[in-house]
Amino acid sequence: MNSSAFIFIITGVILNAAAQLLLKAGTNALGGAIHLTRDNWFATGLKVATQWPIMAGMLCYVISLVVWIMGLSRTDVTVAYPMLSLGYVIGAIGAWLFLGEVISPQRMLAIGVIMLGVVLLARS
């Protein structure tokens, strides 16, 4: 994979992980699980859609899609697609740093295995 392909792919992965973190921050701001019923679906949907982190997360998704397509045009999907696994790593670290989520030793080990796999893939 050349450097421009790598930059597009990794940017897409980072934007995708940022989208997940923003969506979670938005749902956290709503205060609990979202329950849709026939009576509340519109009001709940409006409340969800007007949370700024949720709107920012959706924007990150749109931008990540454009960047991802640019990256795919520069490399094989057999190399690019597994790079999405880095999103798990970035998401877990971001959730720990920004959302206060716990990363257990077992999760740390799993993150290490994912990173090793990505390194092996990138070097192939």
- Output the pLDDT for position 93: 94
- Output the pLDDT for position 78: 87
Cα 36 to chain centroid distance, Å, stands at 24
**Interval 7-27: pLDDT, tens:** 999 999 999 999 999 999 999
How far apart are alpha carbons 58 and 21 in whole angstroms? 11
**Interval 52-64: pLDDT, tens:** 999 999 999 999 9
> Is the predicted pLDDT of residue 117 greater than 90, yes or no?
no
- Output the pLDDT for position 83: 87
Please, which pLDDT band fits residue 106 given cuts at 50, 70 and 90? very high
Asked if residues 15 and 64 have their Cβ atoms less than 8 Å apart, the reply is yes
- Output the pLDDT for position 118: 83
